[in-house]
Amino acid sequence: MLLTQSQADYLLALPKEVKNEGKMIDLSENKIVLDLVSPEDDEWKFSFHIFSSTKISFRINLHHQEARSKTGLLRIDFGGRHCNPVEVNHFVPNIAAPFAGKWIEKPHIHFFVESYSPLAWAIPLTEYKAFPVLVVNNKDDLLRAVLAFSDKINITSHFSIQHSIL
Which pLDDT value is given to residue 25? 78
Which pLDDT value is given to residue 166? 39
Q: Which of these, 22, 62, 18, lies nearest to 156 by C-alpha position?
A: 18
Give the other-Cβ count within 10 Å of 96's Cβ: 21
Quote the CA–CA distance of 34 and 117 in Å, as a whole number: 23
Which pLDDT value is given to residue 165? 42
Q: What does the pLDDT profile of the chain (166 residues) look like in tens digits?
A: 588 999 989 999 999 998 876 667 777 777 888 888 999 998 888 888 888 766 534 455 667 776 667 788 999 998 889 999 999 999 999 999 999 999 998 899 999 999 999 899 999 999 998 899 998 888 788 888 888 999 999 999 877 777 544 3
This prediction has a pTM of 0.87
Which pLDDT value is given to residue 62? 64
Give the other-Cβ count within 10 Å of 137's Cβ: 9
Which pLDDT value is given to residue 162? 74
Q: Which of these, 21, 110, 14, lies nearest to 67 by C-alpha position?
A: 14
